[in-house]
């Protein structure tokens, strides 16, 4: 899993919850760092904040979608912005879903179970 958020608190919470659920976690504080990690590690799922400096979540998601190598990796937007416009903009950028902040352990793990890419050998 890759968690992209400019808030260290959000990154650390997500990391703790995901590790408790048995998942490996990569952390990025902005879209540029996320794209580098995506290229090097090919995570099963990307949780991406919307409001970030330099490269926002919508832009990051759109770049992931345009690259054939990563287009299959699900992206879930993380944000307290959950209005109709925000949800639609996330979908237009290629996000599979939206997870509101603040999120809890169960919400995060349920999102993983629902959206993570599974390898052909996975149960």
pLDDT tens digits along 70-89: 999 999 999 887 778 888 88
96 C-beta neighbours (distance < 10 Å), count: 17
pLDDT of 119: 43
78: phi then psi, degrees, rounded to nearest 5: -110, 125
pTM score of the predicted model? 0.90
Structure tokens at 100: 């509101």
Give the contacts of 84 (CB within 8 A, at least 6 positions apart).
none
pLDDT digits 0-9 by tens, 86-123? 888 899 999 999 999 999 999 999 999 999 876 433 33
Domains contained in the chain, CATH given: 2-115 (3.40.50.2300)
pLDDT score at 122: 37
């Amino acid at each position: 899993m890759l968690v992209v958020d400019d808030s260290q608190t959000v990154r650390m919470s997500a990391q703790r919850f995901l590790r408790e659920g048995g998942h490996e976690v990569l952390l990025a504080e902005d879209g540029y760092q996320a794209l580098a990690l995506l290229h090097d590690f090919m995570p099963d799922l990307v949780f991406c904040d919307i409001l970030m400096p330099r490269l926002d979540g919508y832009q990051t998601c759109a770049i992931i979608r345009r690259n054939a190598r990563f287009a299959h990796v699900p992206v879930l937007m993380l944000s307290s912005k959950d209005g109709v416009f925000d949800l639609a903009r996330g979908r237009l950028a290629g996000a599979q879903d939206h997870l509101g902040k603040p999120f809890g352990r169960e919400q995060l793990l349920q999102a993983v179970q629902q959206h993570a890419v599974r390898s052909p050998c996975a149960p």
